[in-house]
């Protein structure tokens, strides 16, 4: 695009809310702006172009967007004298031009399938008088799967690799199928080629992305082929493979076998259960029962005895009873999750569950949430005790924000691990390295210990 030269030298800052898919979309937006000659800066105050990549899964994401975006009005003018506000992601796809009703200063709105149009929209917005209606591109959810865009990765040693987008499951509480569209898979050969190039570029860890990776390939090949994809990605020589998200109803024995037999696949899986009650799961349209989920966990642990499981759980889904909630607590006790993202149900306009009235008081729901959070923390603490005194392999991500001499990374089981750089060694030189750490302390949410042997 010849007109992209009009953006050369402008500064930008991206604020990202939500899931890993949004994080990857932000990296691609950053890559597009870099390709236009823009310069990334550390704060919104410094930015000529402010970009918000949004999530609409829960109501608090809307609230944060409205507050932070509207606050730009009172900030000191940026270097160019004019700040342009662009809002992308799922809220942009959902609301389109209606965002102007809540955020008067928005200039550009671009949807989940419109990343590539952002530079043109920004050029047009900056050549118009301020205060006009925003330029909007949210047409046709799923019209393209634009992965062939430049990407500015946040970490040189880690990469997100989208293998599909969209979702066909239509869980009754979830807005994602309406803002991301139906499932669309990338051709397997293109995914593997991208992973091979990343390995050649020095990437050590890849996370395969999709709203439900277990159904990868069904739209292209007539049946899921995620197990085959895992094996082929493993053949690239990548050291670490992770993936998300994984719907229990589609996690096949073939995929479990591929996980166990592919050396690069990490012994960790995020397997969202949402509720431990079969009755609530049916109301959520999750398409599996409590018993089926527990049987799946047994098969996973038979194949990978040291696997660490994490999950998502919703508290207060419309109609949830105390008995239903006790079923959730007992499932958490039985599975022993290493971690869990717990949420109070958030009504999303346009979803079937939003039409259901629930007489349960907010106080009761909050009390249940607190009980669940306490149990999750207890089980996470227990899970980490299994590695006390052991040596774990850590991919170093950077220094601690509190202490620059303390390094932070993640183990193969995705535990956060802290350790000090050896005396005389620059901590920054270890970023991106794999280190063996002897665990001296196992806390609820992290491990800490000492480096043993040589980084590699």
* Residue 191 contacts residue 236 (beta carbons within 8 Å): no
* Residue 123 contacts residue 10 (beta carbons within 8 Å): no
Residue 423 has pLDDT above 70, yes or no: yes
Report the candidate in 422, 455, 416 with the shortest Cα–Cα distance to residue 439: 416
Q: Which region among 158-167, 268-277, 306-315 has the lowest average model confidence (pLDDT)? A: 158-167
254 & 305 share domain: no
Alpha carbon dihedral 85, 91, 95, 101, in 10-degree steps, equals -50
pLDDT (0 to 100) of residue 140: 54
Q: Is residue 147 part of a domain?
A: no
pLDDT (0 to 100) of residue 150: 74
pLDDT (0 to 100) of residue 145: 52
10 & 104 share domain: yes
How far is the CA of 313 from the CAs of 78, 310, 332, in angstroms?
42, 10, 10
380 & 395 share domain: no
171 & 258 share domain: yes
Distance CA 78, CA 93 (A): 28
Longest dimension (CA), the chain: 64
396 & 425 share domain: yes
pLDDT (0 to 100) of residue 139: 55
411 & 397 share domain: yes
Q: Is residue 283 part of a domain?
A: no
Residue 59 has pLDDT above 90, yes or no: no
114 & 45 share domain: yes
pLDDT (0 to 100) of residue 148: 66
Report the candidate in 17, 134, 104, 106 with the shortest Cα–Cα distance to residue 64: 17
Residue 1 has pLDDT above 70, yes or no: no
Range 64-70 average pLDDT: 89
206 & 162 share domain: yes
Of 344, 369, 386, which residue constitutes the final position of a domain?
Answer: 386
pLDDT (0 to 100) of residue 212: 95
Range 215-243 average pLDDT: 97
Alpha carbon dihedral 314, 320, 326, 332, in 10-degree steps, equals -20
131 & 29 share domain: yes
Q: Is residue 400 part of a domain?
A: yes
Q: Is residue 41 part of a domain?
A: yes
Distance CA 294, CA 277 (A): 12
* Number of domains forming the structure of the chain: 4
How far is the CA of 180 from the CAs of 34, 92, 177, 223, in angstroms?
25, 11, 5, 21
Residue 288 has pLDDT above 70, yes or no: yes
Calculate what percentage of the chain has a pLDDT beyond 90.
73
Of 338, 364, 386, which residue constitutes the final position of a domain?
Answer: 386
Distance CA 260, CA 154 (A): 29
- Fill in the DSSP letter of residue 422: P
pLDDT tens by residue, 321-373: 999 999 999 999 999 999 999 999 998 888 999 999 899 999 999 999 999 99
* Segments forming the whole domain that contains residue 19: 2-137
Calculate what percentage of the chain has a pLDDT beyond 70.
96
Q: Helix 118-126 crosses helix 20-35 at what angle (to 10 degrees)?
A: 60
* Residue 274 contacts residue 283 (beta carbons within 8 Å): no
If you average pLDDT over every residue of the chain, what do you get? 92
pTM of the full predicted structure?
A: 0.88
378 & 396 share domain: no
117 & 36 share domain: yes
Range 113-138 average pLDDT: 82
Report the candidate in 274, 168, 258 with the shortest Cα–Cα distance to residue 211: 168
Residue 141 has pLDDT above 70, yes or no: no
pLDDT (0 to 100) of residue 88: 92
Distance CA 324, CA 453 (A): 49
Can you read off the two tokens belonging to residue 403?
């202490």
Q: What CATH number did the domain enclosing 233 receive?
A: 3.30.750.210
Q: Model confidence at 207, in pLDDT bands (50, 70, 90)?
A: very high
- Strands annotated E in 347-415: 391-399, 406-411
Name the 3-class secondary structure at 85: strand
Q: Is residue 286 part of a domain?
A: no
163 & 238 share domain: yes
Q: Which residue has the tokens 């236009």?
A: 36
HEC readout, 191-220: HHHHHHHHHHCCCCEEEEECCCHHHCCHHH
Q: What CATH number did the domain enclosing 26 receive?
A: 3.40.50.280
Q: Is residue 368 part of a domain?
A: yes
Q: What CATH number did the domain enclosing 405 receive?
A: 2.40.50.140
Q: Is residue 145 part of a domain?
A: no
Spell out a b/e string for 264-300, using b for 16 or more CB atoms within 10 Å of the CB, else e: bbbbbbbbbbbbbbbbbbebbebebebeebeebbeeb
Name the 3-class secondary structure at 30: helix
Q: Is residue 420 part of a domain?
A: yes
Beta bridge partners, 208, equal 161, 243
Residue 276 or 102, more confident? 276
Distance CA 346, CA 12 (A): 32
Report the candidate in 125, 111, 108 with the shortest Cα–Cα distance to residue 7: 125
pLDDT (0 to 100) of residue 243: 97
Of 137, 164, 193, which residue constitutes the final position of a domain?
Answer: 137
**Tally of CA atoms within 13 A in the half-sphere of 284 that contains its CB:** 26
Range 68-84 average pLDDT: 91
* Residue 142 contacts residue 175 (beta carbons within 8 Å): no
pLDDT (0 to 100) of residue 130: 67
Q: Model confidence at 127, in pLDDT bands (50, 70, 90)?
A: confident
pLDDT (0 to 100) of residue 129: 67
pLDDT tens by residue, 149-185: 777 888 899 999 999 988 999 999 998 888 888 899 9
Q: Model confidence at 146, in pLDDT bands (50, 70, 90)?
A: low
Distance CA 232, CA 260 (A): 14
């Amino acid at each position: 695009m010849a007109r992209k030269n009009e953006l050369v030298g402008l500064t930008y800052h991206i604020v990202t809310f939500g899931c890993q898919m949004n994080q990857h979309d932000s990296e691609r937006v950053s890559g597009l702006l870099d390709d236009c000659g823009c310069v990334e800066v550390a704060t919104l105050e410094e930015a000529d172009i402010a970009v918000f990549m949004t999530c609409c899964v829960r109501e608090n994401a809307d609230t944060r967007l409205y507050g932070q975006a509207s606050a730009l009005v009172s900030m000191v003018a940026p270097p160019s004298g004019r700040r342009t506000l662009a809002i992308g992601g799922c809220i942009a796809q959902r609301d389109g031009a209606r965002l102007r009703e809540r955020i008067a200063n928005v200039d550009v709105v671009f949807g989940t399938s419109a990343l590539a149009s952002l530079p043109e929209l920004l050029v047009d917005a900056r050549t118009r008088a301020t205060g006009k209606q925003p330029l909007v591109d949210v047409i046709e959810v799923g019209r393209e799967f634009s992965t062939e865009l430049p990407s500015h990765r946040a970490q040189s040693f880690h990469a997100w690799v989208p293998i599909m987008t969209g979702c066909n499951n239509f869980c009754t509480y979830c807005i994602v199928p309406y803002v991301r569209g139906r499932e669309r898979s990338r051709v397997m050969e293109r995914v593997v080629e991208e992973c091979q190039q990343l390995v050649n570029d020095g990437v050590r860890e890849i996370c395969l992305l999709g709203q439900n990776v277990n159904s990868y390939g069904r739209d292209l090949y007539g049946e899921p082929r995620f197990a085959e994809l895992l094996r082929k990605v493993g053949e690239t020589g990548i050291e670490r493979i992770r993936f998300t998200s994984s719907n229990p109803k589609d996690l096949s024995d073939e995929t479990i076998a591929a996980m166990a037999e592919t050396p690069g696949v990490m012994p960790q899986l995020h397997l969202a259960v949402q509720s431990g009650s079969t009755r609530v799961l049916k109301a959520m349209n999750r398409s599996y029962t409590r018993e089926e989920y527990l049987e799946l966990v047994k098969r996973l642990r038979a194949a990978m005895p040291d696997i660490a499981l994490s999950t998502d759980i919703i508290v207060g889904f419309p109609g949830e009873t105390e008995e239903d909630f006790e079923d959730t607590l007992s499932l958490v006790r039985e599975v022993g999750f290493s971690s869990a993202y717990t949420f109070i149900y958030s009504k999303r306009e346009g979803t079937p569950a939003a039409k259901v009235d629930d007489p349960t008081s907010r106080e009761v729901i909050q009390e249940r949430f607190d009980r669940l959070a306490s149990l999750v923390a207890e089980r996470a603490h227990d899970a980490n005790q299994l590695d006390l005194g052991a040596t774990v392999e850590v991919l170093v991500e950077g220094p601690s924000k509190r202490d620059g001499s303390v390094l932070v990374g993640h183990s193969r089981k995705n535990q956060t691990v802290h350790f000090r750089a050896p005396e005389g060694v620059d901590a920054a030189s270890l970023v991106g390295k794999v280190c063996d750490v002897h665990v001296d302390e196992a806390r609820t949410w992290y491990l800490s210990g000492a480096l043993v042997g040589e980084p590699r």
